[in-house]
Amino acid sequence: MKVESITLHRIGMPLVRPFETSFGRETARDVLLVQVRTDTGDGWGECVAGSTPSYSSEYVDGCAHVIENHLAPLLFGASPLSATDLERLFAPVVGHRMAKAALEAAVLDAELRASGTSFARYLGAVRSEVDCGVSVGISPSINELLTEVQGYVDAGYRRIKLKIKPGWDCEPVRQVRELIGADVALQVDANTAYSRDDIAHLGQLDAYDLLLIEQPFDEEDIASHIALARAITTPVCLDESIVSVGVAVDAIERGATSIINIKPGRVGGYLPAVAIHDACVERHIPVWCGGMLETGIGRAMNVALAALPGFTLLGDTSASNRYYAEDITEPFVLSNGRLAVPTGPGSGVTVRVDLIRQWATEQSRHLSA
């Protein structure tokens, strides 16, 4: 396959409700979409970076710049090309995994569409539908949080994840546990908002039968996660820290994490994501698929990934309407707490180019050799 040109589309998608985490509050999703044209047809990918470097060091303008100036030239210079070549091809560019992942997704989509293969089949899915969880933002009040959580339980979500930060942790968790009862799975995500001095405080969460506590400390601070894992009974799960197979194996072997959140964007693509999955399966570490407020493009691919055998915990693979009133593909609709894994070639979804034009926040950029 040969990549002939790349078009970068930038859109703003209004969220159905603001999404607040320990690092900020989003009211719209600023998304970079990547469309590749190859000699065998088109493919689409999505960049999961946010508009500011808050979740991680990457951000949308930075990703667009790296793609245009550093990654696209490498792609145009390589022929013939397969998605499996990309990790090596992009190796001269250090880091910038979200930018690399967006291109990888688009190349993979084009390649799989051309061969009539679905993402699910190609990645190794073993399920035709996946059980779904939902991530619930920090609320203006506990009452509003309880109303929102009840809505998700009523909608059929099988697992609730609460965003926490200092000042918004034990009491909201206690009241949500009381509301949903012992049978609904519950977990929390701090997005690095705590420090090592908070270990005793975080130990109070052990009272609420949580599935896990996700990334309480800095991305680079593996040592504090080891100390926490030794001090509390709630399992520690890393998200932001896990950027590669090497880091994943190191964190597991050192006892920093007993569960891993896999996000293809954070680790450089779907192929690195599968490699982390495989390393975790080998070490009996359960994994689950995270979410980055994806459009239907990334959502379709994530649902396929979440159907792999090691994804034994429920992901943040929610329905489209958790975030968006209208999606840029066919919407993903929850049925009995599950989403169907797409079966069509590539991602299996069709991009609504009319909506991309309507929601564009910048002129599309066309890149070619």
State the nearest-atom distance from the C-beta of 122 to ligand NPQ, in Å: 25
Using CB under 6 A as the binding rule, whether residue 313 contacts ligand NPQ is answered as: no
Name the token pair of 326. 């209208």
Name the token pair of 153. 């339980």
State the nearest-atom distance from the C-beta of 331 to ligand NPQ, in Å: 17
Using CB under 6 A as the binding rule, whether residue 292 contacts ligand NPQ is answered as: yes
* φ/ψ of residue 162, rounded to 5: -100, 135
Using CB under 6 A as the binding rule, whether residue 265 contacts ligand NPQ is answered as: no
Q: Which is nearer to ligand NPQ, 109 or 316 (CB)?
A: 316
Stretch near ligand NPQ under the rule CB under 6 A, chosen from 141-149, 221-229, 286-294, 338-346: 286-294
Strands (DSSP E) found in the chain: 3-21, 24-38, 41-47, 129-131, 133-136, 159-163, 185-189, 213-214, 236-238, 259-262, 287-289, 338-340, 365-368
In angstroms, the CA 53 to CA 178 distance is: 36
Q: Which is nearer to Mg ion, 26 or 189 (CB)?
A: 189
The interface partner of residue 50, options being Mg ion, ligand NPQ, none and the CB cut-off 5 to 8 Å by kind, is ligand NPQ
Distances, alpha carbon 143 to alpha carbons 156, 170, 189, in Å: 20, 15, 20
Using CB under 5 A as the binding rule, whether residue 294 contacts Mg ion is answered as: no
Distances, alpha carbon 216 to alpha carbons 127, 187, 194, 233, 338, in Å: 31, 12, 5, 15, 28
| Of 300, 312, 308, 310, nearest in space to 339 by CA | 300
Q: What does the per-residue mask of binding to ligand NPQ show for 152-191, with x meaning CB under 6 A?
A: -------------------------------------x-x
State the nearest-atom distance from the C-beta of 137 to ligand NPQ, in Å: 8
Count residues binding ligand NPQ (CB under 6 A): 14
Stretch near Mg ion under the rule CB under 5 A, chosen from 194-202, 233-241, 252-260, 323-331: 233-241
Q: Is 116 exposed, middle or buried (0-12, 13-18, 19+ CB in 10 A)?
A: exposed
How many other β-carbons are positioned within 10 Å of the β-carbon of residue 25?
A: 10
Using CB under 6 A as the binding rule, whether residue 224 contacts ligand NPQ is answered as: no
State the nearest-atom distance from the C-beta of 148 to Mg ion, in Å: 18
Active site residue 100: no
Q: Are 154 and 134 in contact (CB under 8 A)?
A: no
* Residue type, position 122, single letter: Y
Interacting positions 13-72 with ligand NPQ (CB under 6 A) = 19, 21, 26, 50, 55
Using CB under 6 A as the binding rule, whether residue 217 contacts ligand NPQ is answered as: no
* φ/ψ of residue 197, rounded to 5: -65, -15
Residue in 45, 133, 291, 345 binding ligand NPQ, rule: CB under 6 A: 291
Q: Are 48 and 292 in contact (CB under 8 A)?
A: yes
State the nearest-atom distance from the C-beta of 39 to ligand NPQ, in Å: 33
- The binding site for ligand NPQ (CB under 6 A) comprises 19, 21, 26, 50, 55, 135, 189, 191, 239, 290-293, 316
- The binding site for Mg ion (CB under 5 A) comprises 189, 214, 239
Which residues are catalytically annotated?
163, 263
